[in-house]
Structure 1
């Protein structure tokens, strides 16, 4: 008895050392300074990725658009179907542990040399069951489970991207609306300037060149208004596509009325493993490849099948008995691969190479995640710091524009100075709006980069 126990223990250790029973261990470490030295965080309190998207995007009209997109977006619906497919695959892998049953009734009618026909029949229920001693079925099930988790991560990645995409497109509309309003107001002001300059020319206080230059600037602003309206139409169409709808006008608020969190944290780098769906997906791909390698190793070992049948038959060899009698049989078989060892070795090499590819892809996904967090945070911080400077610039340019206009009226300056001052003021106003959008866009990118928008 002791000898059998020792043999069994040694066999188990040998098989374990071959890797067919090993279990994948999740990654618990990330590269140093994943976010960059200047943005490393010590805790996860207030982590922006933990916010519900309704807490981050408080505009009621934007919330309604996101809700609609989550219900109707075709990419998200396709991702949900991929989850269902993976669930069915996992169920099939689990059912492989159970024996398979089949009802196989047979009947024959035979006659020899014109004699009386004889009838035989059998109504057996057959069963077969593979003993998973060498882990083939077990590793297949674990692979299917990893693929299911990967499909969940893919769905989450699509959801996060959809929420961020709708928000980004919505705020783009608000930025263009604000720039359009500024341009229309400037166009009206320039029209009055053109009329004033023409009056000064009639009074001999300005020349024809001044009027022509003012008119050219006025037409340029009118052209930019048409461009802005075209851009607004294109962005509305893009948002309609995200909502799986035909092109239509989008109801929206104003950029000046938007508010976002002022204080937040990015969390410790290891949280990437739990927050970023693409990082989790890459690790589950690595886990799946790990179990594929285990399956390739198990192909070197024999497969053991138990099969049997039970039922009624009236055929007893050369005799026919009526009524039929109950008959049962059981068979055990062991199949050891002999001549396909080369093919198994090749499959194992392929599996190992694919596992290494998956490991490198997972490592790269971590680096990409850290880089995206750093880029988004820097973009947000830079736009935030610029906002005060743009306010001061606008104040100075408004004063300069007003002063040059008054000086031109009284003949102490040229129209070129007025033209330059007003063009600079218009450019600064448009840039200020674009910077506010960049600040919001940086927040959205950071939210997405940290895996926000989870269910």
Structure 2
């Protein structure tokens, strides 16, 4: 057999072995989950249609600038900084790059490993070694060589490891979108909460000014003997109490301002968001079909990809019970003298397969397989739980929006009625028909109802943001 024939036959055997490679685990199928036909909280069947993007899959696609449906330029400017400066997003991107690098590392297992080296040694054989022609001599050794090893994926171990790493990388990509969506939604909620406090502060500041004017009036009336000191005490209490409420608004607003600074990656000490009176734009959000939720939610996609990765890990654990086939080849030049080093007689080479299997390991492979199976069962449970939580979040926010819409209507009526009652009571006090206590009571009721109306509008905005987040954040009608 010629030297040239050996590599050809070995290569042919390796190709045949690779083509015959098979995974030792059953083909992957996504776990079954129960999907309702409609959202219970959706008030209109027509809202179940195609306003939301439908794609297979749609989890890894960018969520888009969904916040622009609120028509707030300040919010749009803040949201644009999430991708650039938010540290949670940057950490998720780093994890994704790490997962992709691991996939490339595992995929390299399909290819041979080639090494090369040059060595120069001197060694001396013992003079007391009998029967050796080199006894007592110092011998130089010059060598250069190339070695190649390749493990054909006969039982699918490498393929399963690549599948595992690839699925984990896909899960990391979905994690990035999930973090982006969570951070942008939290920023929107904090922003609307801050603007709600601005609206309440505006009401309180106006009330403080009105109560200060009223206090001066009753003080003048007391000096003129028209009323007693109790009316002044009541007016003073009303004034100071409202000023305290206004100061408490400042504390809460500052904390929200700091939270927004952290979300956009800026130190709280140097960030400020001026107070502004904002008219909220409440968007109409059609929830789509429940089946589309599975496609849109990045956290559901991440959980499903981790199930696929765990399934592939079972295959890799199964493959450990089979032997490994390794093909190796080495060639080079070696000589005890430098002069003839590059001549043909200095050539050496070796080539051949090696089949190695573990006969006994004390149950390590069995334990590894059991662990991989248990991990798979855990990821299936995580996936199904994620789906259940997703439906819960959608239903919660649909129900909240419906309830808050009704509350908004009745609260606006209550605020208007309270203002009318205050005006009538003030007129009666000026006519001497009632005491100032009645005025104070009417003022308190009016202010409370106006604040409640503002708070409800803020809660509606928060619920809208949370609903968009729960639905996956992909909005198709944006411009």
**Structure 1 length-normalised TM:** 0.88
Distance in 2 separating the partners of 1:63 and 1:33:
35
* Aligned residue number for residue 183 of structure 1: 204
Structure 2: segments with no counterpart, 5+ residues:
1-15, 55-62, 128-134
Q: Equivalent residue for 1:254?
A: 277
CA separation of 1:111 and 1:354: change in aligned 2, threshold 3 A = closer
Other-structure match for 1:100: 113
Query: Residue 259 and residue 37 in structure 1: after superposition, are their counterparts in 2 closer, same or farther (change >3 A)?
Result: closer
1:420 matched residue in structure 2? 441
TM-superposition CA deviations, 1:241-300 (whole Å, max 9, x none): 1111122211465322x32323x3112122222211111111111111111111111111
Structure 1: state its 5+ residue gaps: 1-7
Q: Give the conservation status (yes or no) of the 8 Å contact 1:314–1:323.
A: no
- Give the structure 2 partner of residue 273 of structure 1: 294
Within the candidate set 223, 228, 239, 2:260 is matched to 239
Change (3 A) 1:284 1:430: same
1:72 to 52, 69, 85: 85
Shift of 1:110: 4.2
TM-aligned CA deviation for residue 210 of structure 1: 1.9
By how many angstroms is 1:448 displaced? 0.8
Following TM superposition, by how much is the alpha carbon of 1:203 offset from its aligned partner in structure 2, in angstroms? 4.3
Aligned residue number for residue 377 of structure 2: 356
Which residue does 1:26 correspond to in 2?
30
Q: Provide the C-alpha distance between the structure 2 equivalents of 1:420 and 1:341, rounded to a whole number of angstroms.
A: 82
Equivalent residue number for residue 63 of structure 1: 76
User: Match for residue 177 of structure 2?
Assistant: 156
* Structure 1 residue 53 displacement after superposition: 1.8
**2:50 corresponds to:** 45
Q: 1:301 offset after TM fit, Å?
A: 1.1
Does the C-alpha gap of structure 1 residues 294 and 84 become closer, same or farther in structure 2, counting only changes over 3 Å?
A: same
**1:222–1:252: structure 2 CA closer, same or farther, 3 Å change rule?**
closer
3-state SS of the aligned residue for 1:45? coil
Q: How does 1:19-418 map to 2 (within 5 A)?
A: 20-27=24-31, 29-32=33-36, 35-36=39-40, 43-47=48-52, 52-110=65-123, 117-247=138-268, 248-251=271-274, 253-256=276-279, 258-262=280-284, 264-314=285-335, 324-340=345-361, 342-418=363-439
Post-superposition offset of 1:30: 3.5
Preserved contact between residue 41 and residue 266 of structure 1 (Cα < 8 Å): no
For residues 328 and 165 of structure 2, the distance between their equivalents in structure 1, rounded to whole angstroms, comes to 26
Q: Which segment is superposed worse, 306-315 or 177-186?
A: 306-315
- Structure 1: distance between partners of 2:70 and 2:322: 57
Once residues 259 and 195 of structure 1 are traced to their aligned partners in structure 2, the CA distance between those partners, rounded to angstroms, is 40
Instruction: Please give the alpha-carbon distance, in whole angstroms, between the structure 2 residues aligned to 1:204 and 1:407.
Output: 19
3-state DSSP class of the match of 2:27?
coil
State the alpha-carbon separation in 1 of the partners of residues 137 and 362 from structure 2. 55
Rounded Cα–Cα distance in structure 2 between residues aligned with 1:321 and 1:160: 65
Distance in 2 (alpha carbons) for counterparts of 1:97 and 1:419: 83
Counterpart of 1:5 in structure 2 is none
Closer, same or farther: CA 291–358 of 1 in aligned 2, 3 Å: same
CA distance in 1, matches of 2:232, 2:138: 118
CA contact (8 A) 1:122 1:312 kept: yes
- TM-score under structure 2 normalisation? 0.84
Distance in 1 separating the partners of 2:121 and 2:226: 120
| CA shift for structure 1 position 214 | 1.6
Q: Deviations over 1:34-54 (max 9, x none)?
A: 844756968441128976425
Whether contact under 8 Å (1:105, 1:122) holds in the other structure is yes
Whether the aligned pair in 2 keeps the contact of 1:61 and 1:253 (CA below 8 Å) is no
- Per-residue CA distance 1:362-412 (angstroms, 9 max, x = gap): 110001000011111111222222222122111111110011111112121
Instruction: Rate the CA distance shift 1:221–1:266 in 2: closer, same or farther, 3 A.
Output: same
Distance 1:279 1:20, change over 3 A: same
The alignment partner of 2:83 has SS state of helix
SS in 2 for 1:23: coil
Q: Is the 8 A contact 2:144 2:334 kept in 1?
A: yes
Distance 1:75 1:57 in 2: 24
Question: SS of the residue aligned with 2:273?
Answer: coil
**SS of the residue 1:96 aligns to:** helix
Change (3 A) 1:40 1:407: closer
How many correspondences in the alignment? 437
